Chain A
Amino acid sequence: MRLTEIPQEELYQGSLGCSGCGSTLAVRLTLKALGRRAIFVVPAACISTVSCYFPQTPFRVPMLVMAFAATGAAISGMSAALKRQGKSDITVVGFAGDGGTVDIGLQSLSCALEGGRKFIYICYDNEAYMNTGVQRSGATPYGATTATTPGRHFEDKPKKDMMRIVAAHDIPYAATACVSYPQDYIDKVQRAAAIDGPTYIHVLCPCPPGWGYPTERTIEIGRMAVECGLWSLTELRDGRFVPTHTPRRRRDPSQYYAAQARFREFRSGQG
């Protein structure tokens, strides 16, 4: 989608999200891609925490808050019911954080992916349990300090490769994205919505308080992740991941690490 074609209409507005939040930006972009004929299902996550307190909601599409472990099941049930009702033009979106996807929600997601029903599952990945105070998840990258991997005892395992797990389910569409590349992301959401089957998008969402950088640098930090090769923008095609964007210049990853407080101890350990 061209930049000028991105709809002006806001379907997610007025959340309690932190200043510079990459995750709420992902919701806005998703709804710009899908418009009003979408239903969101969000488990326990930053997005439900900053969105849904009675009687206010920033969502202008129907939205359901779901138990932490059950996003995949809920969107399967919803998709099945809508199919029986003959409502094939509604896009059911499961929108879960990295903990809700790669950890507690993995079992339910796996079953949903094999079940073959039509939905988009979006993992908005801010690389830790952020709304509970920055505890590590399976998606936390090597070297990151969190509340449960404190100081010098930073995360010492690599980030879980969720895309390989998803790819193993042989679903019709999967992609990685980053909120710093909105056109690329919107295109992928629209491609997923056009498919009559389970689709998965993993979108990297920088988090100022969790990652430790000034709030105005969210887009820049996301771009750095891609430019230094620690994250890539890809689509799964015929069982292989194909890049949808190749950075014109490659950055030294040390610049990415240097820009975030969460890597301070890791950096000092590197001398």
Chain B
Amino acid sequence: MGERKFLHANAAIAHGVRLARVPVVAAYPITPQTSIVEKIASFLAEGEMEAEYIKVESEHSALAACLGASAVGSRAFTATSSQGLEFMHEMLAYVSGGRYPLVLAAVNRSVALPWSIWGDQQDSIQQRDTGWIQLYLETAQEALDTTLQAYRIAEDHRVLTPVMLCVDGFLLSHTEEIVEVPDQAAVDAFLPPLDLPFKLDVDYPATQGMGAFGQQYARWRAEQQQAMGRARGVIGEVDAAFGVAFGRSYGGLVEAYRMEGAELALVAMGGIVGTAREVVDEMRAEGRPVGLMKVRAYRPLPRAEIRAALNGLRAVAVVDRDCSFGYEGALCTDLKAALHGLASPPAVYGFIAGLGGSDVPPEMLRDIIERAAAGEASKDEGEFVGI
């Protein structure tokens, strides 16, 4: 049995890192991530955790230090936000291409310019194509639990792909809730020590980070893509195994909420899903056929699950806390592509909300659903709401 504590998602993630027995942590401060690594530093100072904490001079170096640790067979962790995640961009591709099973907490924050410390998901969405698994989380409890799941997913030999935990800045990172912190023994039973198939070993010398051209390069990339495909199954498996061990699970790749008999659905990722649940409950109480789909795994995109959940619906409203400038919200585009070819696809309306930490209150989500239901919004371009 775990211990119930009052924690924000950042502290919850720090507990996850401690419980995962991560021996190497490297990080650089940035708001709103910083309290994760501050909490880890205090665990180390209090002797509640044993690890090397590398205080680097940049996020680029933070991830490079983690890669170095992973290359010799150690688990490692870093966390960042916004500009820091952008500064890591080069290393993100190094890590995924090298198949190092690292875990990174991206505490979502908008990117400059205009600069803003407040939350949206532009930072991690911009890293979509760097080859990382991206999981968007809804609560502090899910953040802790998914930190533990993330190592097991990333380190699975079928996957060997790094995981980015995407946690809404402030909305989750700085708001406290009751979180059950699992026992170390239970975590040890769930998460075995890292066992890499390949590592730098003086008794079995090998080179990592090779150059490859043309067809060899393409084959390498194809293997990454295949691993992402297998990750779809593994994410579900690990979430289910977590449920058996701890009594909590999160639907694996997606969670369909009150979708029975729904004609309309709201689709969202991250912290605003919590608000959306309330809106859906309210509308259901009024007899409206509205459901909610929470996309937990954005990469790999759960295409089959999205199609199954939304097939036959009349309309879908997608809320993006990001914008792919010149088109629309990134989740909206992916959703349309995923639904392509269905016999009776829903009309998909894209809405861009909550940028730069602007509030997304229940009435805004309700209005988005109503507009989609009435077919009033644009099906071609993301519509900015609340500006």
Q: Which residue of A lies closest to B201 (CB)?
A: A62
Secondary structure type dominating chain A contacts: mixed
Query: Which residues on the B side are within 8 Å of A80 (C-beta)?
Result: 24, 52, 54, 65, 68-69
Query: Which residues on the A side are within 8 Å of B64 (C-beta)?
Result: 66-67, 70, 73-74, 77, 108
In the docked arrangement, what's the CA distance between A74 and B73, Å?
Answer: 13
Query: Which residues on the A side are within 8 Å of B57 (C-beta)?
Result: 107-108, 110-111
Q: Does A191 contact B (CB under 8 A)?
A: no
CB pair A60 B72 closer than 8 Å = no
Q: Does A83 contact B (CB under 8 A)?
A: yes
Contact with A along B201-221 (1 / 0, CB 8 A): 110011111111100100000
Contact with B along A38-65 (1 / 0, CB 8 A): 1101000000110111110101111111
CB pair B210 A74 closer than 8 Å = no
Q: Does B126 contact A (CB under 8 A)?
A: no
Q: How many A-B residue pairs have CB under 8 A?
A: 155
Task: Pick the residue among A57, A63, A72 that contacts B61 (CB under 8 A).
Answer: A72
In the docked arrangement, what's the CA distance between A77 and B71, Å?
Answer: 9
CB pair B208 A84 closer than 8 Å = no
Q: Given that A73-B62, A76-B65, A82-B72 are contacting pairs, would A39 and B200 also be in contact in the complex, using a CB cutoff of 8 Å?
A: yes
CB pair B209 A77 closer than 8 Å = no
Q: Does B26 contact A (CB under 8 A)?
A: yes
Query: Which residues on the A side are within 8 Å of B190 (C-beta)?
Result: none
- Range of interface residues on A (Cβ < 8 Å): 35 or more
Q: Does A36 contact B (CB under 8 A)?
A: yes
Query: Which residues on the A side are within 8 Å of B61 (C-beta)?
Result: 70, 72-73, 76, 107-108, 111
Determine which residue in B55, B56, B58, B207 has the highest number of CB atoms from chain A within 10 A of its CB, and name it.
Answer: B207
By a beta-carbon cutoff of 8 Å, the part of chain A in contact with chain B is: 36-39, 41, 48-49, 51-55, 57, 59-67, 69-70, 72-85, 90, 107-108, 110-111, 115, 117
Min CB distance B133 to A, Å, is 21
In the docked arrangement, what's the CA distance between A82 and B209, Å?
Answer: 19
Min CB distance A87 to B, Å, is 8
Task: Pick the residue among B52, B56, B202 that contacts A73 (CB under 8 A).
Answer: B56
In the docked arrangement, what's the CA distance between A221 and B50, Å?
Answer: 51
In the docked arrangement, what's the CA distance between A99 and B23, Å?
Answer: 32
